[in-house]
Structure 1
């Protein structure tokens, strides 16, 4: 079956994001079939890395917030927002890491 020639209104397939996403998914699927299912230890390692990706920004926000609160004598004014900011940053980083893997 032949394809119709690309006209001025048809998107270039080399730059079409849908075409590249489909190709990337197909490549990943073929690689997964060749490698086989990852072992339990690899899955546990991935879960551990994912946990640390989320926890580390939260801890950094908490420590920075506690230091600011002690320095400025402001109770929990900085700790809570910086903890939430760390959580948001950690979840965003984890989301990006999972999308890349």
Structure 2
């Protein structure tokens, strides 16, 4: 808990010194966040479709790896948003 308070105090100090980031900076952050989520999903989907074609299993691997990619993308986005 002390670490969280320390991190928030540091962020507040930086905000007072530097001011609010430009709108272009905020839009760039949103774009990066989108790619952080979408990229693992697409990789899982393409890898799953390739495995399904090779094994002749319909959509079994695609569905499973799509969910793994979604979980990995959400976890990566959460870690990126909460970095110190």
TM-score bucket of the superposed structures, by smaller chain: over 0.9
SS at match of 2:43: helix
TM-score after normalising by structure 1? 0.79
Are residues 1:65 and 2:48 paired?
Answer: yes
Q: Deviations over 1:4-37 (max 9, x none)?
A: xxxxxxxxxxxxxx22321221111010111111
The size of the alignment, in residue pairs, is 84
4+ aligned runs moved over 4 Å, structure 1: none
State the match for 1:48 in structure 2: 31
The answer to which structure has the higher helix fraction is 2
Measured on the aligned residues, the alpha-carbon RMSD in Å equals 1.0
| Structure 1 residue ranges without an equivalent (≥5) | 1-17
Say which one has the larger Rg.
Answer: 1
Which structure's relative contact order is higher, taking Cα pairs within 8 Å and 6+ residues apart? 2
Aligned twin of 2:16: 33
TM-score (norm 2): 0.94
